[in-house]
Structure 1
Amino acid sequence: MPASEEALSLKKRGNESFSKHDWLKAIEFYDQAIESYDSDPTFFCNRCQANIKLEQYGYAIADATKAVELDQSYAKAFYRRAVANMAILKSREALRDFKTAAKLEPNNKETRLRLTECEQIVKRLAFEKAIEVSDPPSAFEGLNIDSISVDSSYDGAKLGTEMTQDFIDDMIDRFKNGKKIHRKYAFRIIQAVYDIVYKEPTMVEMEVAKDHKLTVCGDTHGQYFDLMELFRLNGFPTESHYYLFNGDFVDRGSWSTEIALLLYAYKWLRPKKFFLNRGNHETDDMNKVYGFEGECKAKYDEKSFRLFSESFSALPLATLIGKKYFVLHGGLFSDDKTSLDDVRKLNRHQQRQPGQQGLMMEMLWTDPQPQPGRGPSKRGVGLQFGPDVTKKFCEANGLDAVIRSHEVRMEGYEVEHDGRCITVFSAPKYCDSTENKGAYINIGPEYKLEYQKFDAVPHPDVKPMAYAQNSLMSLMT
């Protein structure tokens, strides 16, 4: 029996919302179309694409799988499932689907191109695994920054052994004008911040002093000009205006080195008044495909990426604000017994990369869900936790709320779980393709949360993912 007129109309409205980049509204219409008629594979395949845009890759894979079950000759469904698997770094699974899509549509040039790229990625990963050293030497070992000469033609401010506000001001202007800082100074900044954050606890604990303010920011993802707009609206970091950036400084946006170096410079200048949490994109596997490694190599060199990588692995995983707000990039845990003390005891230096399971992975990857309990991840990595999980954790640890980032929110932030789970996201018009606002949270000595929203601003004509290793990644933006 064919789909009803009502179902087809709902699909059309979903397509219209999709064309306006309103992915959430599109999914709502596709949901209704599927509820009305659940035997049309295009309904699931279209919803799959909207889920890809929202980085809900687990849901996207499930939708594509359903479409394939309904029509085993549906090349587009195999293709989109491959794209979703690539996004969560499951390249072998992606390769199988690209092969199937190419077999079903042998004359589709785009599919053949993606298949070739995926084959190259699988071969490269196999080679890297074969030569992998279990305990590689530190990237900082033997680094002699003083021996690096700065050419007399360099027209930027000079950096000695201490960070200065003058250097930061000059760096901000250079970055706005498309210039770089010298490689020597980039190395010096990374080295200094590595030394600082390595000594910090896995969960930094801080208070907001009288007449001071703390701003909590979510993902910035290499959107340097939007970060400048945030600072313009809210004020640049000062002695009395603390900042906490809650991970995902890099990848996707094409000014990731600029953001990372600027945040690091502020951390070096005021180590006790500027805070950085690690995100799931401050990890090697994500950086290799989502652009940061390529950007480091293009703007500086491979050594700069190796230094950044090691410094990312030293970053704290959480910040406790005034014993009231637990701030981490992803979310809560698979075990109700996990406490703040478990986070305090976690030795992040023993495991540089988060892997596929364990406390570090959960802190970087999990997401809230409206339903009670826990569920499989919509991303295909980690898990989801419900309002009852958040309530138990907050009550057991004497917290007012958990503040996390990790997900686009159309208004820049969202308060969920009866006010106990707050998401803040600071990359407006994410990847130039999502019509979301950015947001940040101001917290004073009274520990009240003040939410501020802001819009994206124009930037030079460089596309997101410009430094990604292959065009496959551009399909996710």
Structure 2
Amino acid sequence: MTVITEELKTRAEQIKNEANVLFKDKKFPAAIEKYTEAIQVNPNVASYYTNRAFCHLKLESYGYAIADSDKALEVDPNFTKANYRRASANMALGDFKAALKDLRVVSKRAPSDKDAKSKFDECAKIVRRIEFEKAIEHDEVRRSVADSIEVDAITVESSYNGPKINEDTKKVDLDFIKGMVNRFKDEKMIHRKYAFMIVLAIREYMLEAPSLIDVKVPSDGKLTVCGDVHGQFYDFINIFETNGYPSEKHAYLFNGDFVDRGSFSVEVILTLFAYKLLYPNQVFLARGNHETDNMNKVYGFEGEVKAKFSDMMFKLFSETFNALPLSHVIENKIFVTHGGLFSRDGVTLDEIRKIDRITQGQPGSDGLMCELLWSDPQPEMGRVPNKRGVGIQFGPDVTKNFLETNGLDMIIRSHEVKEEGYVIEHDGKCVTVFSAPNYCDTVGNKGALINITPDMKLDYVTFSAVPHPSVRPMQYASQFSGLLGM
């Protein structure tokens, strides 16, 4: 270890205390700068690294949080908080086995800590379940859960007073959707029969779609592109109420991360699916990194679906998410995907169109599908590993190469919270749009959307959060909310 004078130690502590104040005020990037300054003055204090790791967790920079935890354990192998931070980051990435190793260390060193023990037990349960499911897959060809659902056999009780889908046509109509949205606003759920009908119909529709969809702007209307809405149903509906509901003349493209974090994810996804059924050529849905099993286990959607419906319903959602398209191209000019670009040049739209997303199912930790869902832009040229720990960060040169390869004008992507709801980067060629204002009820950011007219003009609209019932974010992921800094 580097020998540090008492004067430098004192100076480093002062800087660390300044960083703590910034952290308390939720100024995480500024706090990271200060913790980094403290580390530069005195690199021998493990807590400086874990404090910075906590900031990275708050900013969803899980790769950086793991690196800081590793460094803290180099400085002090017995610094348990570093194991806890690393477990948090790996849990956030869905690497449950790695998280379990650190949680085992934490629970052994603090046997009386009930919170640590409960998180260890919950993580161990997930690992056992994943291993069991893998064993079943090896033993037999898994049957689709959709094949075991007999919707016609489900009885709608006479006491149910919500909206109904016509039993003869089995078609979703506008009156049903309006009734459903109003019921959701009142914190009531639709009957499970109608929920099954909606999700099954979307699954069947999406199974026939390519991985990349071509989109037209209505000739006498507009197309609205929205980013992450993350289960914030009341903010999501506010988009329609202020910007216009989907219609024949008003198309919408929702660019992934419909669910998780917010505790009204079921309401969001059922509304989107219903509108997709009503207006299949005007409503477009792309898969995000949170339309995946590992994320849903951690960030609340799985628990929410099981609480509001059943385990079978969650399995059906999982299969349906696997079938969602990965990208869209608007009028042969604008490429739209949730995360970003690739670890190699030369990727073509035709390559993306042919990705076998349904067979692959979950996106994994590398490859085109993973990078589409997880990658982020950076201001520097070139490519580096992503701060999140999955995918890459890509520079303006990478964006330029991809656009030129495919004869495109620009990229719209989502995946990152932005203070004003959107950011324009890479010489105007890469736009991030994020549509969940006051993300997780704590960030204070605005949401944004992009209206595109037939002449391909882009109008950026920002909006603030609206009130919602007193249900906290990740209500249905309570075991892990503390671990993830919620």
TM-score, normalisation: structure 1: 0.95
Residues 270/438 of structure 1: CA separation in 2 closer, same or farther (3 Å cut)? same
Separation of aligned partners in 2, 1:261 and 1:474:
29
Q: Which moved more, 1:210-219 or 1:100-109?
A: 100-109
Name which of 57, 73, 77 aligns with 2:82: 77
| Helix, strand or coil at the partner of 1:384 | strand
Which residue type is aligned with residue 227 of structure 1? Answer: F
Shift of 1:120: 3.1
Structure 2 residue 38 is the aligned partner of structure 1 residue 33: yes
Name which of 152, 160, 166 aligns with 1:154: 160
Shift of 1:6: 4.9
Which residue type is aligned with residue 218 of structure 1? Answer: G
Residues 238/178 of structure 1: CA separation in 2 closer, same or farther (3 Å cut)? same
Shift of 1:106: 4.6
| Helix, strand or coil at the partner of 1:435 | coil
Residues 282/24 of structure 1: CA separation in 2 closer, same or farther (3 Å cut)? same
Q: Which moved more, 1:200-209 or 1:256-265?
A: 200-209
Structure 2 residue 224 is the aligned partner of structure 1 residue 215: yes
Which residue type is aligned with residue 345 of structure 2? Answer: D
- Superposed, which structure 2 residues align to 1:103-114 within 5 Å? 103-114=108-119
Separation of aligned partners in 1, 2:395 and 2:210:
28
- After superposition, what is the alpha-carbon deviation per residue over 1:86-107, rounded to whole angstroms, capped at 9, x for unaligned? 1112222222222333444454
- Superposed, which structure 2 residues align to 1:291-310 within 5 Å? 291-310=300-319
Separation of aligned partners in 2, 1:390 and 1:468:
36
Which residue type is aligned with residue 241 of structure 2? Answer: R
Aligned to 2:246: 237
- After superposition, what is the alpha-carbon deviation per residue over 1:391-418, rounded to whole angstroms, capped at 9, x for unaligned? 1111121212111111212221111122
CA contact (8 A) 1:429 1:436 kept: yes
Shift of 1:33: 3.1
Aligned to 1:15: 20
| Helix, strand or coil at the partner of 1:155 | coil
Which residue type is aligned with residue 115 of structure 2? Answer: E
Task: Show structure 2 runs of 5+ residues with no match.
Answer: none
| Helix, strand or coil at the partner of 2:360 | coil
Aligned to 2:371: 362
Aligned to 1:279: 288
Shift of 1:243: 0.5
Aligned to 1:116: 121
Residues 106/147 of structure 1: CA separation in 2 closer, same or farther (3 Å cut)? closer
Separation of aligned partners in 2, 1:98 and 1:107:
14
Structure 2 residue 76 is the aligned partner of structure 1 residue 86: no
Structure 2 residue 260 is the aligned partner of structure 1 residue 254: no
- After superposition, what is the alpha-carbon deviation per residue over 1:413-449, rounded to whole angstroms, capped at 9, x for unaligned? 1111221111111111212232222111111112122
Name which of 435, 441, 447 aligns with 1:432: 441
Q: Which moved more, 1:1-10 or 1:167-176?
A: 1-10
Structure 2 residue 146 is the aligned partner of structure 1 residue 140: yes
Which residue type is aligned with residue 63 of structure 2? Answer: G
| Helix, strand or coil at the partner of 2:449 | strand
Which residue type is aligned with residue 59 of structure 2? Answer: L
Aligned to 2:102: 97
Residues 60/303 of structure 1: CA separation in 2 closer, same or farther (3 Å cut)? same
Shift of 1:44: 1.5
Shift of 1:172: 0.8
Structure 2 residue 184 is the aligned partner of structure 1 residue 179: no
CA contact (8 A) 2:92 2:484 kept: no
Residues 108/350 of structure 1: CA separation in 2 closer, same or farther (3 Å cut)? closer
CA contact (8 A) 1:211 1:445 kept: yes
Structure 2 residue 130 is the aligned partner of structure 1 residue 125: yes
CA contact (8 A) 2:366 2:390 kept: no
Task: Show structure 1 runs of 5+ residues with no match.
Answer: none
Which residue type is aligned with residue 66 of structure 2? Answer: I
Which residue type is aligned with residue 27 of structure 1? Answer: I
Separation of aligned partners in 1, 2:461 and 2:382:
31
Q: What is the number of residues matched between the two proteins?
A: 477
| Helix, strand or coil at the partner of 2:144 | coil
Residues 235/31 of structure 1: CA separation in 2 closer, same or farther (3 Å cut)? farther
Shift of 1:162: 1.5
| Helix, strand or coil at the partner of 1:372 | coil
Aligned to 1:289: 298
Which residue type is aligned with residue 65 of structure 2? Answer: A
| Helix, strand or coil at the partner of 1:21 | coil
Which residue type is aligned with residue 245 of structure 2? Answer: F
| Helix, strand or coil at the partner of 2:350 | helix
Which residue type is aligned with residue 187 of structure 1? Answer: F
| Helix, strand or coil at the partner of 1:349 | helix
| Helix, strand or coil at the partner of 2:448 | strand
Separation of aligned partners in 2, 1:438 and 1:142:
40
Q: Which moved more, 1:202-211 or 1:344-353?
A: 344-353
Structure 2 residue 339 is the aligned partner of structure 1 residue 330: yes
Aligned to 1:46: 51
Name which of 195, 202, 219 aligns with 1:193: 202
Percent of pairs identical after alignment?
Answer: 52
Runs of 4+ deviating beyond 6 Å = none
CA contact (8 A) 2:298 2:480 kept: no
- After superposition, what is the alpha-carbon deviation per residue over 1:266-286, rounded to whole angstroms, capped at 9, x for unaligned? 000000001000111112222
Separation of aligned partners in 2, 1:42 and 1:148:
56
CA contact (8 A) 1:254 1:462 kept: yes
TM-score, normalisation: structure 2: 0.93
Separation of aligned partners in 1, 2:115 and 2:273:
40
Residues 357/265 of structure 1: CA separation in 2 closer, same or farther (3 Å cut)? same
CA contact (8 A) 1:340 1:397 kept: yes
Q: Which moved more, 1:25-34 or 1:391-400?
A: 25-34
Which residue type is aligned with residue 145 of structure 2? Answer: A
Structure 2 residue 461 is the aligned partner of structure 1 residue 456: no
CA contact (8 A) 1:465 1:473 kept: no
Separation of aligned partners in 2, 1:35 and 1:436:
31
Which residue type is aligned with residue 119 of structure 1? Answer: A
| Helix, strand or coil at the partner of 1:141 | helix
| Helix, strand or coil at the partner of 2:126 | helix
Q: Which moved more, 1:18-27 or 1:31-40?
A: 31-40
| Helix, strand or coil at the partner of 1:11 | helix
CA contact (8 A) 1:21 1:435 kept: no
